[in-house]
Amino acid sequence: MIAIPLRRPLRRRITDWLFMVADQVVAAVIATDRDALVAELFRLEGAQLVRMARLFTDDRNAAEDLVQEAFIRLHRAAHRINDPAKAAPYLRSIVINLARDHNRRGLMSLRHQEALPAGTEPDVPEDVLVLDDERQKLLHEVRALSPRQRDCLLLRFYLELSESEIAETLDISKNSVKTHCRRGIEALRARVEVAT
CA atoms of 79 and 16, how far apart (whole Å): 27
Going from N- to C-terminal start, the domains of the chain cover 8-119, 132-196
Contact 170, 151 (CB under 8 A): yes
For the segment(s) 8-119, the CATH number from 1.10.3470, 1.10.1740, 2.60.40, 3.30.720 is 1.10.1740
Residue-level pLDDT at 115:
47
Give yes or no on whether 8-119 and 132-196 have one common fold: no
Residue-level pLDDT at 67:
93
Q: Which residues contact 122 (CB under 8 A, 6 or more apart)?
A: 60, 116, 128, 131
For the segment(s) 132-196, the CATH number from 3.40.50.1980, 1.10.10.10, 1.20.1560.10, 3.40.640.10 is 1.10.10.10
Contact 6, 14 (CB under 8 A): yes
Helix (H) or strand (E) holding 179: helix 174-195
Residue-level pLDDT at 194:
74
Residue 166 is which amino acid? Answer: I
Mean pLDDT by 10 residues, the chain (196 residues): 56 67 58 75 90 85 92 86 82 90 65 46 51 73 88 87 90 94 92 74
